[in-house]
Amino acid sequence: MTATTRLKLNLGPQHPSTHGVLRLLLELEGEKILSCEPDIGYLHRGMEKMAEKLTYIQYLPLVDRLDYLAGFFYSELLCRIVETACQAELPDKVRVIRVMMLELNRIASHLLWVGAFLMDLGATSPYFYVFREREMILRYFEKVTGQRMMYNYFIFGGVRKDIEFLENVEEIISILPQKIDDYEKIITDNPIFIRRTVNKGILEPETAFNFAITGVNLRASGVDYDYRHQDSLYKGFDFKAIVLDGKDAWSRYKARILEMRESINIVKQALDYLKKSGPLEQRLIPPINLKLPEGEYFAEIEAPRGLACCYVRSEGDDKPYRLKWRTGSYYSVNLLRNILKGEYLNDAIAIAGSLDIILPEVDK
Amino acid sequence: MCIEFFGAVKALWEGMLTVFKHLFKRAVTLEYPEKKRDLNGAFRGKPVVEGCIGCGICQRVCPSGAIEFKKDENGKVVFYKFDLKKCIFCGNCAFYCPKGAIKMTKEYELAVQNKDELNLIYRGGAEND
């Protein structure tokens, strides 16, 4: 008999499988994980403190950098804060343009997640396929907004310019469903994939509530909560929340695949509206000397990685007194303490990958 | 057990078939320095200025403080500088310029040997320039 020794293992911060730079301090007994301590902060850029030094319009291009895979969601939040403070009504066309961009962005973000997750599990070909499809979406964003990831397209009271190149969107949504079928052929029923994900990283709804998990991770645990249904931005769009009750890594994968298909539906509805609509008419809020009335403002939106919120406290100045972001990934990282306990080291990366953690969002 | 085995063979076969189909398709990548993709649409590259009136709005909306300009005693802009080391190509200056004097060109290959070349300095800039 040999005495069992406990081993402390550093996973990261430069581990190639982690998304960004995350350090996990694991305590192991054999291959079993006894405890996990996430260590964050390697990508800290001071996004919240920076807001206190910049005017609202100066801060707007920077919020895209909070989450480089889904930048539109955060600029939408900041725009919404300013619009509620100035009591500006969005015209229908602006609303639909924003919904279309957000949903395309959600598809792009989930696509990359599928590739990165499969890469974590050791499958390389899906990684290249998703980049090919994501490239179509990013090229479209570049044509309309001017950049591939740092869009700066939504501005206070509207969008920068009228939507163009709608035929590209049509092409994207006609090609994507077949491509997603292709991924499913390679991935979903693959026996190795099933063995590595089914019943791994079980997330019970109670744990999810305690750790404030939102978004796809929560819905894959059987809780029907999709903020988009309460969101006035999505008024008039017909879609359903994807709820699966597998609670494991496989369900989280499947939920994202299904959510992409649902997003394609929303983009289709938006496209039908935009094709028939006239030229863009909007009343922009002038950004120079823009002062929010004294008070507190709050906005939330369903981002790809969970509920994203923005809180602004204004003292009637042209800069926020305090600005706070709530990002979905931050809570997923915290969940690792709980969800990795009792699992094997081999599954740690698969489980952490299935939560869709993106570090710039965590460190802010 | 037997069912699982045949299920696995079928799934792997289908997967391999999907992967092998790609052997007969055209490459999607571009050989970058030789071939360049077309940048149609609103691409934001190197900013240029022409016909500035010196109102200073660009300076006030710039998030990184990349813009500097000087006026002479008649109010004419004699010096205008974009610091590309600071510029994040957000396009705020071009969008809010009341005269449309700032344009974001499609030039994106901005690597230089000497970092002073990244200060884009425009002299004159007023109507007679």
pLDDT above 80: residue A356? yes
| A222-268 tens-digit pLDDT | 888 888 888 888 888 888 888 888 888 899 999 999 999 999 999 99
Q: What is the mean pLDDT of chain A?
A: 87
The residue with greater pLDDT, A322 or A16, is: A322
Give pLDDT, residue A1.
54
CA distance B56 to chain A (A): 11
Chain B contact present for A136, CB below 8 A? no
What CA–CA distance (Å, rounded) separates B101 from A265?
41
SS3 content of chain B, % helix, strand, coil (to 5): 30, 20, 55
What CA–CA distance (Å, rounded) separates A165 from A178?
22
* B102 closest CA partner among B118, B129, B125: B125
CA distance A31 to chain B (A): 28
Please tell me the number of Cα atoms within 13 Å of A20 on its side-chain side: 24
pTM for the model stands at 0.88
Nearest CA in chain A to B8: A191
B contact test, residue of A52, A57, A161 with most B CBs within 10 A = A57
pLDDT above 60: residue A166? yes
Give pLDDT, residue A122.
82
User: Lowest-confidence range among A141-150, B76-85, B120-129?
Assistant: B120-129
B59 belongs to a structural domain: yes
Span A181-197, mean pLDDT? 83
Give pLDDT, residue B129.
40
Give pLDDT, residue B126.
44
The sign of the torsion formed by the CA atoms of A327, A134, A72, A15 equals: positive
Count of structural domains within chain B: 1
B25 belongs to a structural domain: no
What CA–CA distance (Å, rounded) separates A149 from A141?
8
CB contact under 8 A, A135 and B8: no
Model ipTM value: 0.83
pLDDT above 70: residue A19? no
Chain A neighbors of B23, CB-CB under 8 A = none
| B7-49 tens-digit pLDDT | 778 877 887 888 888 888 888 888 888 888 888 788 888 888 8
The residue with greater pLDDT, B76 or A216, is: A216
Using a 10 angstrom Cβ sphere, with 0-12 exposed, 13-18 middle and 19 or more buried, the burial of residue A1 is exposed
Give pLDDT, residue A103.
92
Give pLDDT, residue A18.
56
DSSP code of A200? S
Q: Percent of chain A beyond pLDDT 70?
A: 97
| A272-304 tens-digit pLDDT | 988 888 888 888 888 888 888 888 999 999 989
CB contact under 8 A, B15 and A55: no
Give pLDDT, residue B127.
40
A6-363 has which CATH code? 1.10.645.10
Chain B contact present for A91, CB below 8 A? no
B27 belongs to a structural domain: no
How big is the A-B interface in CB pairs under 8 Å? 80
* A69 closest CA partner among A20, A23, A22, A118: A20
DSSP code of A238? -
Give pLDDT, residue A106.
92
- In chain A, what are the domain boundaries? 6-363
* A38 closest CA partner among A58, A20, A54: A20
**CATH number of the structural domain spanning residue B86:** 3.30.70.3270
CA distance B41 to chain A (A): 4
B22 belongs to a structural domain: no
Q: What is the mean pLDDT of chain B?
A: 82
Chain A neighbors of B92, CB-CB under 8 A = 57-58, 60-61, 152
Q: What residue type is B129 in one-letter code?
A: D
Chain B contact present for A168, CB below 8 A? no
What CA–CA distance (Å, rounded) separates A156 from A163?
17
3-state secondary structure of A230: coil
Residue A27 phi/psi, 5° resolution?
-110, 120
CA distance A150 to chain B (A): 8
Give pLDDT, residue A298.
92
Q: Which domain holds residue B75?
A: 47-123
pLDDT above 80: residue A94? yes
What CA–CA distance (Å, rounded) separates A356 from A359?
10
Give pLDDT, residue A165.
86
B32 belongs to a structural domain: no
Give pLDDT, residue B91.
87
| A49-81 tens-digit pLDDT | 988 988 988 999 999 888 888 889 999 999 999
Give pLDDT, residue A312.
92
> Residue B117: left if φ>0, alpha if ψ -120 to 50, beta else—which one?
alpha
pLDDT above 60: residue A358? yes
Chain A neighbors of B14, CB-CB under 8 A = 185-186, 189
